[in-house]
Structure formats: structure tokens, C-alpha cells
Amino acid sequence: MTELEPYEAQSATIDLPSIEAAAQLTRSRSRSRVTSRPGKLPLPPGPESPAGSPSILTRLNSNDASQRAAALQALAQIGDDDAYVMITDGFDDQAPEVRNAAARALYNLHPDYMFSFSEAVRDASGERHRRIAGAVADSGLAREAIANLAQDDCDGAYRAFSLLWHMAVGGEVQCLIQSIEEDLPAVVRITIVELLALSGRSEAIPALRRLAVRRSLSSELRSALMQAIHQLQQNY
């Protein structure tokens, strides 16, 4: 059995009873020490690596945030370990434009972007995790992931879930709360509610309470909201 088989659903979304299992797998992947990244073999640091080329290093050290952002996008095309390190260092940049570019670059570094983000979060300090979460939200990746929860590709839906999970645990919950109010498939909205409940972010409780009493929402969604509130209160 593959890792993704427990999460394959009959519908085009993540199977709701499997969400907690999916979150557990995401947590375990974040804690696991991975000895090698899929894709290209690591290259030693320094000029031997394409990531160490003078043009990229010059742009990374530029005072112009747009040049630093462009350098991170170029690193995503290289795909070796040096590129990964430089991209994740971009989350410490003071410019939001550069941090957003780092999120996009990490997303494009390898087809399995779930792997890249899981490793980046595992390696990150608390502050860097918060910056990664903010960049996922501000770069538009979160909106794309929410849309991908409803796609026919179950592997793609799970990767989207994983990215949103890391974002929520890092403290970025506002775009998830907003999506509950939007005209999305009901199962996607309930999936997002369940994800928020499992994230442990108690700061989401006031917004979830506000939504839980909204009569325009379906009874099933309001029930999921009440359950999420209860779960978050227990963990608070």
C-alpha cells in the first residue's frame, strides 16, 4: 500500500473521514529526517554548483528586492541542495516580495512540492515557519491549493491539503476562514473546517463562532463548524 492510498476518495476531494489520518501523515513527514531529496543529486557548495554562479549570487545580494526575487525564481530551475538552501533562506528576507518569491520558488523546485515544504517547515525555526506560512498565503499559493482540493487527482488534492496544513499550523488561518464563506463545493468547505480544527490554532475560534450561527450556511457546514470549535477549545 502506498502512503497516499488511505486518502483516495470516491469523490473528487479528500475523503472526509481520512482527514485526521492525512494530517498525521503530514506531521510525520515534517518530523522525519530525509537523507536525500528526490530529483537531482546534491552538488557540493560553492562555484561547482549552478546555484553558486556569479550572476545568481550578485542578484541575491542586490539592494533591489525585485532582483533578489528574480534570483530565487532562477534557483528553482536548478533544483539541487544548494538551491534549496538559498531558497529557504529567502524566507528570512525583510521584503515581502522576496518571501513570496521564495514560496513560489520552493513550490517550483520539485514536482512533489509537498516534500519541499514539509522539509522546509521541519528545518525551520518558529519564526521562519510563520514567514513561510505568510508567504504561502500572500503569494497566492494558498488560493490555488484551496481550488486544488476539489480536483480529480487525489494525489494533487492531498498535496494541496498538506500545503494548507503547514500554512495553518504556522499561524495563517484568515484565508482559510474566508474560503468557508465563499461559493466553493460543500465538501471542500467542510474539509477546510476540519483542517482548521486539526491545526490547533485557537485564534480561529471567534471567526468560526460567527460563521456557525449564519443561517445562510448549510446545516452540515454549521455542524462541522461547531465540532471544530469544540475541538479547538479542548486543545486550548
Question: 212-226: per-residue pLDDT in tens?
Answer: 999 999 999 999 999
- Helix (H) or strand (E) run with residue 145 in it: helix 141-148
> If phi over 0 gives left and psi between -120 and 50 gives alpha, with beta otherwise, what is residue 34?
beta
For the entire predicted model, the pTM comes to 0.78
Q: What is the pLDDT, as a whole number, of residue 37?
A: 43
Chain CA centroid to CA 35, Å:
21
What's the residue count for the chain? 236
Burial label for 233, CB within 10 Å (0-12, 13-18, 19+), is exposed
User: How would residue 45 be classed by pLDDT, with cut points 50, 70 and 90?
Assistant: very low
Quick one: three-class SS letters along 24-38? HHHHHHHHCCCCCCC
Mean pLDDT across 178-201? 93
**CA pair distance 209, 206, nearest whole angstrom:** 5
Mean pLDDT across 22-37? 48
